[in-house]
Every structure is written in C-alpha cells, then in structure tokens.
Amino acid sequence: MTKLDDTEVVTALGSSEAGSLAHLYRAEVYRSTTWRQRFDATTNWAVVSTGIALSVSFATTKASALPIVLVGMLTIMFLILEAWRYRYFSVWKFRARMIELAIYVPILRGKPISVPQDRGHLLSEDYISPQHRISSRRAIGRRLRRNYGAIFAIQGLAYFAKISIHPDDVSTWAEFFERAHIGPLPGWLALLAGVCFHIIWISLAISTYRQDQADTTAVSDYLRPTRS
C-alpha cells in the first residue's frame, strides 16, 4: 500500500486484478442499463395510457371525463413501480460509478492503476451487504420531476378542459360541478380530491428537490445508504 497524503491510501493493482475489475465493470454497466430500460418502459406505459384516455374522453360530445381520472390512478401505480425500479437501478449504477472513480479516472489522468481505500471499502461492503442508495420518497420525487410531473399536469389540464369547454363552454358554476361528478361522487368533492392530489405531488417534487440540493456530497447518491 502507498500513502499519498493524510487522508487517502491506495492499493496498487496488478494486471490480473485490473482485468477482473474490467469484467466486473462491464457486468455492472449491463445491469444498470437493463434496469434503466425497465423504468423507461414504465414511463412509456404512462404516456401511451394518457394518450388513449384523452382520445376516448374527447372522441364524442357525450364522452365522459372518467377515463382521464382512471388513467390518472393507473399512472400513480406506474410511478410507484418506476420508483421501485429506479432504486434498484441506483444499486448497480453505484457500483459502476465507484469502479469508474477508483480505476478509470486515475488512468485518464495518467496515474498508476490503484484503488483508494475508502472507495474500495465502500464497494466491497456493498457486495457483502447490498443496500439501496436512495429512499423511496426521493426516488418518487425524482421521477416526478423527470417525467411524471408533466404527465400529471397534462392529465389535470385535459380534465379541466373536458368539463369546462367540451363539448361547449359551461355557463354557470352549477353546470361546472355537474360535469365534474363521478357516479355517486358529487362534482365538488371530485374536484377537491383532484386539487389535493396535485398539491401533494407538487409538494413532494419540490421537497425532494430541496433535499437533493442540500446534499452537497460529490457522489451523494452512491456513497451513503438511505432508508426506505
């Protein structure tokens, strides 16, 4: 082992160890890519479902706004599933990122191949006891800011347009609430539930963004485990 300074200790690697890490890196990149494709597919399902719901709701003058509401509920399920997949993606991405920082960055800087003790310890501990690197709440918040916030906003605007201007403009508040009713659920209650839902997801997106911004660690998502 060679001590470079007061805080960093590195272990030089031979050709066999470097080759093993190269194979390991390819495996972790493959895993992270596979999980990335999985949660991208969930977003596609949400987009396609929303498009179908809008087409059905605006197809005829007698069409109901109910498909938009139902797809909104389905989109929530997609969001939860995607956040779950994102957490697993972060596990594999953490490992690939640690190998990049420990091996490939020194190579690109013209330094000998070596593993800093802190990063090697983090990576080895993760193989011994795998753990998620991001909480469910932060994962949901990130997917909201990345994709689902826009999807929910489109659904909300489409629902408002459906009950207010399609097939013709409403003339009174009573008519507006009448169009908003869903089965036995009165219109005012359906609208209140919708407003509360949008306030909740917007608040979650903002609060998790502030939490991410407050974490100034260079690789904060990958250096610290978080609770679910």
Give the C-alpha distances (Å, rounded to integers) separating 97 from 39, 78, 132, 171, 221. 19, 27, 15, 58, 10
Among the ranges given (178-182, 187-191, 213-217), the one the predictor scored with the smallest mean pLDDT = 213-217
To the nearest 10°, report the CA torsion of 101, 12, 29, 143.
-30
Return the pLDDT at 168.
87
Query: For 138-148, how does the pLDDT look when each residue is reduced to its tens digit (9 = 90+)?
Result: 999 999 999 99
Query: For 154-184, how does the pLDDT look when each residue is reduced to its tens digit (9 = 90+)?
Result: 999 999 999 999 888 888 999 999 999 888 8
Domain definitions of the chain by residue range: 2-223
Residue showing tokens 């030089």: 12
Q: Which residues, including other chains, have CB under 8 Å from residue 94's CB and lie 6 or more apart?
A: 126, 133, 221, 222
CA-CA distance, 136 to 208, in Å (whole number)? 11
Query: For 16-62, how does the pLDDT look when each residue is reduced to its tens digit (9 = 90+)?
Result: 766 778 888 899 899 999 999 998 999 999 999 999 999 999 998 88
84-101 in b/e form (b: 16+ CB < 10 A) is bbbbbbbbbbbbbbbbeb
Q: Which helix (H) or strand (E) holds 76?
A: helix 66-99
Strand order through the sheet with 2-3? 2-3, 9-12, 114-116
Query: How many percent of the chain have pLDDT more than 90?
Result: 49
Return the pLDDT at 218.
46
Where residue 4 falls among pLDDT bands split at 50, 70, 90? Answer: very low
pTM score over 0.85: no
- Residue 185 gets which letter from DSSP? B
Return the pLDDT at 113.
64
Q: What is the mean pLDDT of the chain?
A: 84
Return the pLDDT at 149.
97
Q: Which helix (H) or strand (E) holds 3?
A: strand 2-3
Tokens (6 digits) for 111: 């330094």
pLDDT of 211 > 60? The answer is yes
Residue showing tokens 């031979």: 14
Return the pLDDT at 120.
61
